[in-house]
């Protein structure tokens, strides 16, 4: 079964063709990051307009790269939410019109469930059950996944998401938006033990996160400095900040798997592209005789292959959308 997947929840317009839920025939991502960069964050109105311009070329390219035509598509899946409503509407309406015109089954995918499915597209897909940390610009969620359709939310951030903390600290350091990859690069050159930023575990046995205190601690550190920052100082701050984030993320993920008796942990979302995080979790997991599953690097951030993979399951299960179905901005779990 060949599924056309479409993603447009934030600042990436993406289309992918996936066969039988796991074989990626194409995955095209058109990013708007250059446009939003100068505003220091995503501007919703601009995002919607750019999705409008990109959607048709991106879908066309996905079909061409896969070496198929519209006639080969058996079903369509588009992100339904959570995300920016104006942005979501572009991809969701496109999918609706495409499927209706061609008489195909179609479905709306929860973006977060899409991210969870990105690990099934990796080299070593996790075996069920497993615990997954979904860390992106908008979410820091821990899920206990017990079946292809059962995602128990164990914990989430009470304030900033992990990726958001990376972005805000990058902004404070004058490194631009988005900040995750830049901080990771600088952190590799810095001393992670140089500054002891606070780790917020909240209730150590619980699974919720909080990153606003860490963000404020970095801001205070910068305010209290008398001398201008050298490149070495910036690298040390980046490394010390990243270390604080990694400590908490890895601890909570491994502890959640321990409590649930799972032998497999997984990472997904934009922050899972952070190789230092992958190394840390792999090490902590190995110490507990657990294994780590990761999405392919190209599928850590927003993409449509994960949407097609999740959509494949929903379509097979008969969980379809109708023409009067709409997008949603916030998660309903």
Q: How far is the CB of 314 from ligand KG4 (least distance, A)?
A: 20
Q: One symbol per residue from 176 to 205: x for binding ligand KG4 (CB under 6 A), - otherwise; what is it?
A: --xxxx--x---------------------
Region binding ligand KG4 by CB under 6 A among candidate stretches 132-140, 203-211, 257-265, 315-323: 132-140
Indicate the SS3 state at residue 160: coil
**Is there binding between residue 10 and ligand KG4 (CB under 6 A)?**
yes
> 10 or 89, CB closer to ligand KG4?
10
User: What is the Cα–Cα distance from 269 to 114, expressed in whole angstroms?
Assistant: 10
> 136 or 274, CB closer to Zn ion?
136
**Is there binding between residue 250 and ligand KG4 (CB under 6 A)?**
no
Cα distances from 201 to residues 8, 133, 252, 313, in angstroms, run 33, 15, 8, 35
Identify the residue whose tokens are 């606070």. Answer: 198
Retrieve residue 9's tokens: 């929840």
**Is there binding between residue 136 and Zn ion (CB under 5 A)?**
yes
Region binding ligand KG4 by CB under 6 A among candidate stretches 88-96, 102-110, 136-144, 147-155: 136-144
**Is there binding between residue 302 and Zn ion (CB under 5 A)?**
yes
Retrieve residue 191's tokens: 């001393």
Instruction: Choose, by CB under 6 A, the member of 114, 192, 269, 311 that binds ligand KG4.
Output: 269
Give me the phi and psi of 113, to 5 degrees please: -65, -35
Which one of ligand KG4, Zn ion, none interacts with residue 295, CB within 5 to 8 A by kind?
A: none
Q: How far is the CB of 129 from ligand KG4 (least distance, A)?
A: 23
**Is there binding between residue 137 and ligand KG4 (CB under 6 A)?**
yes
Q: How far is the CB of 48 from ligand KG4 (least distance, A)?
A: 16
User: What is the Cα–Cα distance from 307 to 313, expressed in whole angstroms?
Assistant: 10
Q: What's the alpha-carbon Rg for the chain, to the nearest Å?
A: 20
Which residues share a beta bridge with 147?
150
Q: How far is the CB of 90 from Zn ion (least distance, A)?
A: 16
**Is there binding between residue 27 and Zn ion (CB under 5 A)?**
no
The DSSP secondary structure of 97-122, one letter per residue, reads HHHHHHT--EEEEEHHHHHHHHGGGS
CA 244 to chain centre: 20
Q: One symbol per residue from 141 to 180: x for binding ligand KG4 (CB under 6 A), - otherwise; what is it?
A: ----------------------xx-xx----------xxx
Contact at 8 Å (CB) between 248 and 215?
Answer: no
Indicate the SS3 state at residue 293: strand
Strands 2-7 and 75-81: parallel
User: What is the Cα–Cα distance from 22 to 124, expressed in whole angstroms?
Assistant: 12
Q: Under the rule (CB under 6 A), what is the footprint of ligand KG4? A: 10, 136-138, 163-164, 166-167, 178-181, 184, 269-271, 273-274, 301-302
Where do contacts with Zn ion occur on this chain (CB under 5 A)? 136, 302
């Amino acid at each position: 079964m060949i599924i056309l997947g479409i993603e447009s929840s934030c600042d990436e317009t993406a289309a992918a063709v996936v066969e039988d839920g796991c074989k990626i025939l194409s995955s095209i991502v058109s990013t708007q990051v250059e446009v939003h960069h100068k505003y220091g964050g995503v501007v919703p109105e601009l995002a919607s307009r750019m999705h409008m311009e990109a959607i048709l070329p991106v879908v066309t390219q996905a079909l061409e790269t896969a070496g198929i035509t519209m006639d080969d598509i058996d079903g369509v899946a588009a992100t339904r939410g959570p995300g920016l409503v104006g942005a979501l509407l572009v991809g969701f309406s496109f999918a609706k019109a495409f499927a209706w015109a061609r008489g195909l089954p179609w479905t709306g995918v929860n973006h977060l469930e899409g991210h969870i499915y990105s690990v099934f597209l990796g080299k070593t897909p996790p075996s069920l059950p497993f615990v997954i940390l979904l860390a992106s610009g908008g979410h820091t969620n821990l899920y206990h996944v017990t079946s292809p359709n059962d995602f128990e939310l164990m914990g989430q951030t009470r304030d900033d998401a992990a990726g958001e903390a990376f972005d805000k600290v990058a902004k404070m350091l004058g490194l631009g938006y988005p900040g995750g990859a830049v901080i990771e690069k600088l952190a590799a050159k810095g001393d992670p033990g140089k500054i002891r930023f606070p780790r917020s575990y909240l209730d150590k046995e619980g699974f919720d996160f909080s990153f606003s205190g860490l963000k404020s601690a970095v801001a205070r550190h910068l305010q209290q400095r008398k001398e201008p920052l050298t490149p070495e100082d910036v690298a040390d701050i980046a490394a010390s900040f990243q270390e604080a984030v990694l400590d908490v993320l890895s601890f909570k993920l491994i502890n959640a798997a321990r409590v649930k008796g799972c032998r497999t942990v997984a990472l997904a979302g934009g922050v899972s592209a952070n190789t230092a995080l992958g190394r840390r979790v792999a090490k902590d997991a190995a110490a507990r005789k657990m294994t780590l599953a990761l999405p392919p690097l190209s599928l850590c951030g927003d993409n449509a292959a994960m949407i097609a993979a999740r959509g494949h399951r929903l379509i097979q299960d008969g969980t379809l959308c109708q023409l009067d179905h709409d997008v949603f901005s916030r998660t309903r779990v």
